[in-house]
Structure 1
Amino acid sequence: MPLRSFGRRTARPGAAGLLTLAALTGAGSAHAGTATAQALPAGCSGTSPITCHYAVSPGTYDVTVSVGGTSAGQTEMWAEARRLMLPATRTNAGATATYSFTVNVRQPEGQPTGQGGTGNPGLDIRFSGTAPQVSAVSVKPASQPLVAYLAGDSTVCDQPAAPYTGWGQMITTAVLPGAAIANYADSGESSGSFLSNSALFPTLLAKVRANDPVFIQFGHNDKQTSASAYRSNLTSMITQVRGKGGVPVLVTPPVRRLFDGNRLTPTALHVNGLGVDLPAQMRAVGAAQGVPVIDLTAQSKTLIESLGPTASAQLYLRSSVDGVTDNTHFSQYGATRIDDLVLQSIRGQHLPLASYLR
């Protein structure tokens, strides 16, 4: 698939508390192995990858970076726990391109319960690629950004280690500055466990402001959840988000790659062990509550069945490529394909995040 298009953006002028481009340019270590050493921005070190760390408090920050430098480069930018902000971008020798993002910073990084590690306090940025180049970095607190919150499970969350990748880690490439993704999804969570864990829904809810969208995807781990309990859990989240002025959005779970011939099985389509068709129940709650529904089950079913049992494997984890076979969790490529489906629905339904998408 083609990469999303990124326009060049101009860094905003400095203000009180701003780590300006000038302040962060030329104060770090130099690239090794170049005829003319190029200094890295302050807080950055290494060559491939280049890692940068800024001791900021949890919150949301506007980040502007200039990639490129004295030699030709190809650079990707990742923030915090493997959130892709800038896909592979080429620059010619002596040229730079400037991009801006709004980044949510949380401690612990990644999954809110600390699965996979707690990361480092502050903001971490990693520039990777075949020849990463970065000449400037600016970080300042964001002023009243739109924050889109994600509530979900391991197919959504910030997975700390490759090859596992949640779609919430890839959707960040599509979001313009002024809006941020706050990914509170957590591995192994059902609708009930997410609702009751103080590190998850209650913590997310406390931060929601007027018009912030909250995307709610559960089903993979509701294997023994009754229809009434599932509907009650979803309805409770909807009511509480609305009480804060937020905009709840239900997302039916993406399919598992479990085929019977050329068609996905009921288990793949999230008919659980009690015979409950969870996506159907979520659609019904959405209709009853007047809440937008992104039917990711139907969208991903169409995608996976169109690819068939063999070609669809690349969206998930394969032993030959990833060292593990897993027909539930996504590869980086698969997470990108799934988040494209989510983005299609956000745009098509004109949800609050739509005006902030590239």
Structure 2
Amino acid sequence: MHTTLHLPGRRRTCAAVATVLALAALTGTGAAHAGAAGRQALPAGCSGTSPIICHYSVAPGNYDVSVSLGGATAAGQTDVWAEARRLLLPTTKTAAGTSATYGFTVNVRQPEGQPTGQGGTGTAGLDLRFSGTSPQVAAVSVNPAAHSLAAYLAGDSTVCDQPAAPYTGWGQMITTAVGPGAVIANYGDSGESSGSFLSNAALFPALLAKVAANDLVFIQFGHNDKQTAAAAYRNNLTTMITRVRAKGALPVLVTPPVRRLFSGNLLTPTALHVNGVGVNLPAEMRAVATAENTPLIDLTAKSKALVESLGPSASAQLYLRSSADGVTDNTHFSQYGAGRIARLVLQGIREQHLSLTPYLR
């Protein structure tokens, strides 16, 4: 059982080497983590049984992570999470005496969840969580990623890395579908409108500073633009598009997913993001996409079709329910709902033939 940390290429900077040495000093050897008799020894840097938590003191950046799941004597059932509740691998079974290896590219930030620190700043470095009914991890490898395609997410609480269950953003679930070589960098933040996200130094300016040529920036706003005039909304979106393009990257507009507010069997105008001053925000975003020749994923239309097809009762499982979650909320998603919405976004990525498509599982 082992953990490795490697640096790609021939040019190792002093800072990078120092990081590796510091990590080695921190994690020690895997044998030191052997538990009670009969328990499989854990890789270095890992502790616990259910869940198993692995921590690596690396600097912010993108990392290629490889994990081997399985045990010599017992069957396993494991799911893999990174940082602030980003699902990397859904529940996966391994038979006794077998192992399976999976790879991901993971974005490490500080704070690790929402950029403004809502819900806490998390722990510096990279954290991996192996949970499930019988989690097993045999090996972990962490390597600085050399040339990853980055997909940045600019959005609100329906997108962001929510730090605590049951609230879940679709940006936390889309990561299960993205293979090695591409990475999701989620800068979504609760409560943000198109204007507040654009002006807050921790949000759009911080995101833009990281963007490189050929990266993608997905832009979804509407839930908190409740009093935003049409002209201001369009100007905010156009400004983001212009600044992303100036970095040589590709902006992608995403209309906001619907709220679960029904009148009979149909969603209300409020559910469809007609705001308090009468602005049809998805329609305005579609118009901006046409005017700016920008790819658009119509998540409003896709989620409307999903929610109305389920109807007023069954659609409740997509959102937060008092019976299952301890809170009733017809805007924010359950983990299941966030996964369904993420699938709609992935559908849109494929339909638009975006550069992220070849990396999707």
TM-score under structure 1 normalisation? 0.93
- The residue identity in structure 1 corresponding to 2:44 is A
Matched, 1:333 2:336: yes
Per-residue deviation at 1:118? 0.2
Residue 57 of structure 1: which of 56, 59, 69 is its match?
Answer: 59
In 2, distance between residues paired with 1:180 and 1:69?
A: 29
Match of 1:347 among 327, 350, 361: 350
Question: 2:138 is matched with which residue: 135, 148, 152?
Answer: 135
Aligned partner of 2:31 among 24, 27, 45: 27
Identity among equivalent pairs (%): 76
Q: How does 1:83-94 map to 2 (within 5 A)?
A: 83-94=86-97
1:222 matched residue in structure 2:
225
Q: Which letter maps to 1:51?
A: I
Q: Which amino acid aligns with 1:149?
A: Y
Q: Secondary structure at the match of 1:204?
A: helix
- 1:28-62 Cα deviation digits (max 9, x unpaired): 42345xx6231100110000000010000000000
Distance 1:208 1:13, change over 3 A: closer
- Structure 2 partner of 1:5: none
Aligned length in residues:
344
Q: State the 1:355 CA deviation.
A: 1.2
Runs of 4+ in 1 over 6 A off after TM superposition: 11-14
What secondary structure does 2:138 align onto? Answer: strand
Structure 1 range deviating more: 302-311 or 37-46: 37-46
Equivalent residues in 2 for 1:224-263 (5 A)? 224-263=227-266
- In the TM superposition, 1:101-250 aligns within 5 A as 101-250=104-253
Aligned-pair CA distance for 1:27? 3.4
Report the secondary structure of 1:268's partner residue.
coil
Give ranges in structure 2 of 5+ residues lacking alignment: none
The CA deviation at 1:12 is 11
Report if aligned partners of 2:162, 2:168 keep a CA contact under 8 Å in 1.
Answer: yes
Cα distance in 2 for partners of 1:198, 1:248 equals: 19
Aligned letter for 1:27?
Answer: A
Conserved 8 A contact 1:28-1:45: no
In structure 2, the residue matched to 1:47 is: 49
Asked if 2 retains the 8 angstrom alpha-carbon contact of 1:28 and 1:44, the reply is no
Give the drift of 1:26. Answer: 3.0
Any stretches of 5+ residues in structure 1 without a counterpart? 1-10
Greater alpha carbon shift after TM alignment, 171-180 vs 346-355? 346-355
How many Å apart are 1:14 and its aligned residue? Answer: 7.5
Aligned-partner SS, 1:68: strand
Aligned-residue Cα RMSD (Å) equals 1.7
The one-letter amino acid paired with 1:223 is: K
Deviation at 1:226, TM superposition (A): 0.2
Cα drift, residue 116 of structure 1? 0.2
Q: Counterparts of 2:328 and 2:170 in 1: how far apart (Å)?
A: 18
Partner of 2:326: 323
Q: Secondary structure at the match of 2:91?
A: strand
Paired residues of 2:45 and 2:55 also in contact (CA < 8 A): yes
In structure 1, distance between residues paired with 2:29 and 2:300: 46
SS at 2:103's partner residue? strand
Counterpart contact for 1:25–1:39, Cα < 8 Å: no
Contact 1:24 1:138 in 2 (8 A): no
Counterpart residue number, 1:6: none
The offset of 1:196, in angstroms, is 0.1
Paired residue for 2:99, among 87, 96, 117?
Answer: 96
Distance 2:50 2:38 in 1: 17
**Distance in 2, Cα, partners of 1:30 & 1:288:** 61
Contact 2:6 2:142 in 1 (8 A): no
Distance 1:308 1:43, change over 3 A: same
TM-score by length of 2: 0.92
Q: Residue by residue, what CA displacement relative to the aligned partner does 1:196-242 show, whole Å, maximum 9, x if unpaired?
A: 00000000001111110100000000000000000000000000000
Q: Match for 2:314: what amino acid?
A: A
| Kept in 2: contact 1:25–1:137 (CA 8 A) | no
CA–CA distance in structure 1, aligned partners of residues 81 and 93 of structure 2: 16
Q: Name the aligned partner's letter for residue 323 of structure 2.
A: S
CA distance in 2, matches of 1:179, 1:27: 33
Query: Cα gap change, 1:348/1:224 in structure 2, threshold over 3 Å: closer, same or farther?
Result: same
SS across alignment from 1:27: helix
Contact 1:24 1:137 in 2 (8 A): no
Once the two structures are TM-superposed, the CA of residue 94 in structure 1 deviates from its matched residue by 1.2
